[in-house]
Amino acid sequence: MVTREIPFSELLSVVIDNRGRTCPTSHEGVKLIATNCISNDALYPRYEKLRYVSQDTYDNWFRGHPDPGDLIFVCKGTPGRVAIAPDPVDFCIAQDMVAVRADRSKVNPLYLFAALRSPVVQNRIQNLHVGTMIPHFKKGDFGRLNIPVPEYEDQIGIGRIYLEISRKIDINERIVDVADQLLRSIYQDACSHTSDSIAMSKLGSLVRKGVSASSLTGDEHYIGLEHMPRRNMWLTAWQEDAEIVSGKSAFESGDVLFGKLRPYFHKVGLALTSGVCSTDILVVRPVEPSRLGWLLLSLSSDEVIAHASAVSDGTRMPRTKWKDLEALDVPWPGEAQVARMNEVVRSMGARIQSAAGENRTLATLRDTLLPQLMSGRLRVKDAEKIVEDHV
């Protein structure tokens, strides 16, 4: 396979750059995404910690807006993260990122997307960016970033393979999000139809099982606060082969983990595996197996998070104590309905666990195939056969 090195700037037909000014925001309107919404683990931007702009600002303030299929490229903070603009595009971008449009006469857009995420290009970006406290990659340096570009037919195949695997991962992630939203809706409905309550201590109890760093083998599944998503009750991420140098807390599959540090970050979820976690995480176990679902839904509810935030100690690094949670009364719809909810939660948990395992396999496959395809060590036809067995 013949591959040329072409500067990033020469592969683009349009660069939409709204950097340099602070965008006026409003309480509602069109979504304004920030760099935290762009991840190399997600196909499209994630809508997290959103701000909004008015329709007038959207129409008149910006230099331009992304089109479907454009690439959203982060220039500041964590330079090089990139995602695809969906169809339709229901957001706008401001500072610290640009939207770029591939010149289709020179490069296939999906190949460019895959290439930008490849280890070789990511390493080049890291070597070119400046700044230590807040790294940034200058638009003027796009001409210094060389992209490996094979023949166009190979580009199409590589881009298609990368997109196919990424789409399957995206579908599984959407299942996780929908399951969370559905259960929260069911929980709120159940709470609105009951006037009874129960102490949190009747649902779960704190597990205090410390583990010294010296006793760990390195094979444990480790969950830190960084692995816990905000306001999503499914803990699908953890680290393997972590270098752990301090004591941790042990947890089991089916425990509920509650991020006690800065509880307003709303990091609460169901452990889908056994392992060890940061001591800034409370490990809570249901007092009865049938109450796991209601324990999870209660601890992860907005009301409990608001309470935890209000009673936490500390100003810069507030922390919640279990004693402030176990005495809290939460809605109680009755044993029969709680048992039914528990079955729903456990059933969804099994589906989420399957999706999470599949995504880890797919991500490994995608990240293994891409460098081999770009280097020519693996032919597109051979890679397609491998993908057929997994997607």
Mean pLDDT of the chain: 94
The answer to which of 123-127, 134-138, 353-357 has the lowest mean pLDDT is 134-138
Residues of each domain in the chain carrying CATH 3.90.220.20: 3-150, 173-349
* CB of 272 closer than 8 Å to CB of 353: yes
For residue 2, pLDDT beyond 80:
no
Amino acid letter, residue 312: S
Rounded CA-CA distance 228/17 in Å is 32
For residue 132, pLDDT beyond 70:
no
Q: Return the CATH architecture of domain 3-150.
A: Alpha-Beta Complex (3.90)
CATH number of this structure's domain 173-349, picked from the four choices 3.40.1360.10, 1.10.3720.10, 1.10.630.10, 3.90.220.20: 3.90.220.20
Q: What is the pLDDT of residue 23?
A: 87
For residue 138, pLDDT beyond 90:
no
Percent of the chain surpassing pLDDT 70: 99
The answer to which of 136-145, 322-331, 335-344 has the lowest mean pLDDT is 136-145
Helix, strand, coil percent content, the chain, rounded in steps of 5: 45, 20, 35
The answer to which of 136-140, 141-145, 194-198, 297-301 has the lowest mean pLDDT is 136-140
* CB of 44 closer than 8 Å to CB of 82: no
What mean pLDDT is predicted for residues 311-324? 92
Residues whose CB is less than 8 angstroms from the CB of residue 98 and which lie 6 or more positions away in sequence, other chains included: 15, 16, 17, 18, 19, 72, 73, 75, 139
What mean pLDDT is predicted for residues 75-101? 94
CA-wise closest residue to 86 among 156, 172, 170? 170
